[in-house]
């Protein structure tokens, strides 16, 4: 038996993998990443229930203040089916916020791209706007929220401006880098062959700008969304942020948790249903763009703490100041 095993181990080029296959079934199942992933959810639920119990026991207050997973589930189910005690249901609420996000996004992309191109092409334009862009980058969304709701009141204007102001510096900086890194040699090549200026812009400049525009759009959306929720929360009468606050004011923890989950779901849908397919199409020609990379760059900005000091780098682009 030993002899046979030794021989098969020697003759097989994949002997390391074979050896794991000889582990007992139970051990193999326990080690599999898939199981670990599946186990995560029940683990969270158990942790949740236990901590609920511990908190209620040790502080001895009314445990109905705490939310159970079932309550959160019921709340989310009711919201999804349009049944709510809040002034507007889930769809109206997200509709209002998405309209603001969309409008702000379009404005910040248009204005930001124009300014970014100007700053990339001209040193003087860059010098003129540079400090303002840096100031915008450094400004916390909360400051905008308070400032804008003070001067613009409770309508749509404040939230839209919050989206614009939060996202626009990232658009400007990205587009500027894109313009600065346009391939000079490809332009020279087209010049030498007498390719028309229009064709040069369309087939050389735009494709080389695309990765930067795309990164800009991602930032404008994700950071704009966060700014939007904050201003709705502090200075709004409706929208997703305001409704979140509504549940908080009503002391309904299940509503607060449920709405947070909706935010997460919204971010995931935006990433996987809208952004990722577009990115996959547009960057089909880029061999280095593999999936793990795409998933990494989701709506999470905390991952890039260096953002404000401009040393941020990501997959699509490098936002860096070259002085």
Partner 1 sequence: MADIKISNLHKEFGVGDDKVVALENVNLEISGHVFVSIVGPSGCGKSTLLNILSGIETPTSGSLTITQAGAQAAPGYVFQAARLLPWRTVMDNLLFVQADKSSETRARCQKYLDMVQLGDMINIIRTSCQVVCSSASDWRARWRPMLIFMDEPFSHLDAITARSLRRELHSMWAATKKTIVFVTHDVGEAVELSNRILVFAQGGILKDDINVELDFPRDPSDEAVAVAKANVLKKFEELDLLAT
Chain residues that interact with partner 1, rule: CB under 8 A: 185-186, 188-195, 199, 203-204, 207, 284-287
Min dist. Cβ of residue 186 to partner 1 (A):
6
Give residues with Cβ within 8 angstroms of 1, minimum separation 6. Answer: none
Nearer to partner 1, 126 or 190 (CB): 190
Instruction: Calculate the alpha carbon distances from 119 to 69, 134, 150 in Å.
Output: 51, 13, 32
Please say which residue, 187 or 266, places its beta carbon nearer to partner 1: 187
Report d(CA 138, CA 115) in Å as an integer. Answer: 18
Q: 312: which residues sit within 8 A by CB, 6+ positions away?
A: 304, 306, 318, 319, 320
The residue (of 289 and 318) whose beta carbon lies closer to partner 1 is: 289
Distances from the Cα of 228 to the Cαs of 69, 98, 224, 225, 239, in angstroms? 28, 10, 6, 5, 9
> Shortest distance, CB of residue 178 to partner 1, whole angstroms?
14
Residue 76 or 205: the one with the smaller Cβ distance to partner 1 is: 205
Nearer to partner 1, 13 or 194 (CB): 194
Q: How far is the CB of 192 from partner 1 (least distance, A)?
A: 4
Residue 22 or 281 having the CB closest to partner 1: 281
Smallest separation, CB 204 to partner 1 (Å): 7
Q: Which is nearer to partner 1, 22 or 284 (CB)?
A: 284
Smallest distance from partner 1 to CB 252, Å: 51
Question: Of 80 and 186, which CB lies nearer to partner 1 in the complex structure?
Answer: 186
- In angstroms, give the least distance from the CB of 199 to partner 1: 8
* Residue 191 CB, nearest approach to partner 1 (Å): 6
Q: CB 25 → partner 1: shortest distance, Å?
A: 41
């Amino acid at each position: 038996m030993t002899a046979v095993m030794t021989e098969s181990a020697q003759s097989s080029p994949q002997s390391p993998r074979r050896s794991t296959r000889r582990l007992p079934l139970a051990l193999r199942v326990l080690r599999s990443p898939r199981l670990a992933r599946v186990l995560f959810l029940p683990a969270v639920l158990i942790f949740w229930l236990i901590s609920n119990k511990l908190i209620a026991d040790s502080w001895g207050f009314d445990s109905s203040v705490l939310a159970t997973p079932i309550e959160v589930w019921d709340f989310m189910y009711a919201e999804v089916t349009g049944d709510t005690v809040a002034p507007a249901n889930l769809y109206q609420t997200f509709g209002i916020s998405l309209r603001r996000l969309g409008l702000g996004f379009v404005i910040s992309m248009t204005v930001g791209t124009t300014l970014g191109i100007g700053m990339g092409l001209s040193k003087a334009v860059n010098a003129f706007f540079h400090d303002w862009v840096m100031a915008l980058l450094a400004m916390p969304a909360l400051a905008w929220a308070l400032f804008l709701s003070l001067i613009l009141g409770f309508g749509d204007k404040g939230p839209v401006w919050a989206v614009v102001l939060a996202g626009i510096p990232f658009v400007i900086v990205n587009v500027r880098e894109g313009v600065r890194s346009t391939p000079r040699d490809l332009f020279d090549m087209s010049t030498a062959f007498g390719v028309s200026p229009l064709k040069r812009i369309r087939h050389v400049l735009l494709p080389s700008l695309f990765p930067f525009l795309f990164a800009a759009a991602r930032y404008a959306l994700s950071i704009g969304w966060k700014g939007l929720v904050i201003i709705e929360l502090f200075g709004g009468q409706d929208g997703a942020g305001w409704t979140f606050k509504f549940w908080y004011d009503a002391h309904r923890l299940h509503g607060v948790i449920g709405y947070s989950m909706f935010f997460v779901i919204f971010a995931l849908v935006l990433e996987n249903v809208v952004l990722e397919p577009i990115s996959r199409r547009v960057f089909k020609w880029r061999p280095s763009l593999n999936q793990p990379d795409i998933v990494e760059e989701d709506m999470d900005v905390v991952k890039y703490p260096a953002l404000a000091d401009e040393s941020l780098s990501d997959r699509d682009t490098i936002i860096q100041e070259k002085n």
